[in-house]
Structure 1
Amino acid sequence: MTGTFPSPDLVARFHRDGFLVLPGFMPAERCDALVARAGELVEGFEPADIPSVFSTTDQKKTTDAYFLSSGDQVRFFLEEGALGPDGALNRPKSVAVNKIGHALHDRDPLFSDFSRDPRLAALVTALGMRDPLLMQSMYIFKQPRIGGEVVCHQDATFLYTDPPSVIGLWFALQDATLENGCMWALPGGHAAGLKSRFARAGQGGVRMDVLDPTPWPACTPENGYVPLEAAKGTLVVLHGLLPHLSGPNHSDKSRHAYAVHVVDGTLPYPADNWLQRPADNPARGFA
């Protein structure tokens, strides 16, 4: 990155398209350090204790207390294809975890330092954040051959404010290609407004409130979608209303990524948002 960051042109592109792709944002060695640290965390995780599976196509199906209480914790979620009929792992745990979430940015010093790079604070402020709060983080493995599809969605569905304010900061820790399930996005799709809200319901349940039943167009280039292929070290910035998705990984190559979601602390954060922080451990900003 050279010159003033972010430039007025970058800001204008973000508001026009709903995303930015910034190659070379993070040095390779910082990406490698996060990959190594995630490996250490997985090594210390015992799947038999909490065999929690994360569904990438139907989040309500596998949402449980372990998931709902993860807002200020470091929790592990398995791929749907990683468990056999007997409920035991059918592969080594190092290639069975779907993701780690949702407070790596607060609970782990290496992830905290990575997440609080001063350039990120400058970026989200320039994009309109008045009081940026790091609300959620996820380490996403996209495991070889079983890395699940992530259906078309908007981040504001899951981290809602009124008006929507969430910005996603997604880092390619390994090359993300068409072969191993890179993201796709619909440029300008953020202008269509919010289609749904994923929220807590009574007695520890969740619900999906449909605000606009019009389905997203099928993910094809003819419908305007573009692949967001990203070399290692690339930062992809996502508007909270941007429709985006990723395909399954049927290749032999993993597609590790790290994502941080930032919301504007000047706006009320609803008590029925699925992700909550306890009063004694609230979300913090970049400082």
Structure 2
Amino acid sequence: MSTPLTDHSPAMHDSITSDFVAQYRKNGFAILRNALSTTEVTAINEEALRICRDGFGDSPEIRGVSDAEMLRKFLCIHYPHKLSDLALAAMKHPTIVKALEGVIGPNVKAMQSMLFIKSEGKPGQAWHQDEHFIPTRDRSLTAAWIALDDATVENGCLWVLPGSHQRGVLYPDRKQDDPRFDCSTEAFDFPYSDNDAIPVQIPAGAALIFNGYLLHRSLENSGKHGYRRALVNHYMSAESLLPWKKPQGEYFGEYDYRDIVLVAGDDPYAHKGLVDESKAYSRAEKDGGCDR
């Protein structure tokens, strides 16, 4: 097994430098050591509880449960920036945006956020490429995976296959029934093995910036390790159309999903306007069925 990336690894960066960008280009990822301050991390974790209670807690079986019980009911909430000004501010965080300007370019837009809570016993996600789910026209999709707890092998940190983005190939996917993973499909038939994977163990406040073609996965939060919370935002070049969630009756080549947030530079398609279309929801996991 390859050596894990930890907060003592030379792969960690304190600022956006040419080395940071070079590592991203070569390996498909780079790590910012102190993307968020301790105060910012604490505030977002407190906000996560509020989002769970206010956004999803108004039901007889959830009302009145303790904070810990409440958080354990959730694996991941999609689009927290639709529910929280704090999550929206994190999407526009200047440290993260500076990194994005370095690896994407001067004009950057966001289209998705995810708040992972992942308490003990919760599953991970099988091998996948983010661009499989969110297609761009120019391969510019980039994730900012912000650790809100120290991410370790034990609590289900990310694993990456370095360099797997370079071919620019989207591998086929299939349904999987592995209890270690949630209901998402898994990528397969790629020229890498699990032995090539590296666990990305990073401290709370650090951010993994990675390419949309990079193969990555996470395993379950095993044993009694509390939470492995993370805030994950997806970005791309504002110059690219976003052919995502295609409606009926549109030419695919011209379709541009416009529920986006401009975080840097200019939007060449601003004349199209914006829509507020996506709604926050809780991701299904194996426990309770995959069709809910």
How far, CA to CA, are the matches of 1:280 and 1:264 in structure 2? 13
How far, CA to CA, are the matches of 2:60 and 2:169 in structure 1? 37
Aligned to 2:128: 153
Alpha-carbon contact 1:160-1:197 (below 8 Å) kept: no
Does 2:25 align with 1:22?
no
Does 2:146 align with 1:171?
yes
Go from structure 1 to structure 2 and tell me whether the alpha carbon gap of 1:162 and 1:196 turns closer, same or farther (over 3 Å shift). Answer: farther
Alpha-carbon contact 2:241-2:257 (below 8 Å) kept: no
% same residue: 23
How far, CA to CA, are the matches of 1:241 and 1:229 in structure 2? 21
Go from structure 1 to structure 2 and tell me whether the alpha carbon gap of 1:109 and 1:197 turns closer, same or farther (over 3 Å shift). Answer: farther
Aligned counterpart in structure 1 of residue 236 of structure 2, from 258, 263, 267: 263
Alpha-carbon contact 2:135-2:244 (below 8 Å) kept: no
How far, CA to CA, are the matches of 1:125 and 1:231 in structure 2? 23
Go from structure 1 to structure 2 and tell me whether the alpha carbon gap of 1:34 and 1:43 turns closer, same or farther (over 3 Å shift). Answer: same
Go from structure 1 to structure 2 and tell me whether the alpha carbon gap of 1:47 and 1:252 turns closer, same or farther (over 3 Å shift). Answer: farther
Does 2:137 align with 1:162?
yes
Letter in 2 for 1:34: I
Go from structure 1 to structure 2 and tell me whether the alpha carbon gap of 1:241 and 1:43 turns closer, same or farther (over 3 Å shift). Answer: same
How far, CA to CA, are the matches of 1:160 and 1:49 in structure 2? 39
Aligned to 1:113: 89
Aligned counterpart in structure 2 of residue 192 of structure 1, from 162, 167, 176: 167
SS at match of 1:259: strand
Deviations 1:104-152 (A, max 9, x none): 235421112222122222211111334211110010011112x112101
Letter in 2 for 1:235: A
How far, CA to CA, are the matches of 1:111 and 1:125 in structure 2? 20
Does 2:70 align with 1:93?
yes
How far, CA to CA, are the matches of 2:154 and 2:168 in structure 1? 31
Aligned to 2:107: 131
Shift in Å, 1:209: 11
How far, CA to CA, are the matches of 1:130 and 1:33 in structure 2? 29
Shift in Å, 1:183: 0.6
Does 2:56 align with 1:43?
no
Aligned residues: 227
How far, CA to CA, are the matches of 1:50 and 1:193 in structure 2? 46
Alpha-carbon contact 2:244-2:257 (below 8 Å) kept: no
Letter in 2 for 1:247: L
Alpha-carbon contact 1:152-1:216 (below 8 Å) kept: no
Query: Unpaired segments of 5 or more residues in structure 2?
Result: 1-12, 63-67, 174-183, 248-255, 265-292
How far, CA to CA, are the matches of 2:244 and 2:149 in structure 1? 36
Q: Normalization by structure 1: what TM-score?
A: 0.70
SS at match of 1:33: helix
Aligned to 2:221: 249
The more displaced of 232-241 and 189-198 is: 189-198
How far, CA to CA, are the matches of 1:189 and 1:251 in structure 2? 30
RMSD: 3.1
Letter in 1 for 2:202: A
How far, CA to CA, are the matches of 1:196 and 1:143 in structure 2? 30
Shift in Å, 1:169: 0.2
Aligned to 1:143: 119
Q: Normalization by structure 2: what TM-score?
A: 0.69
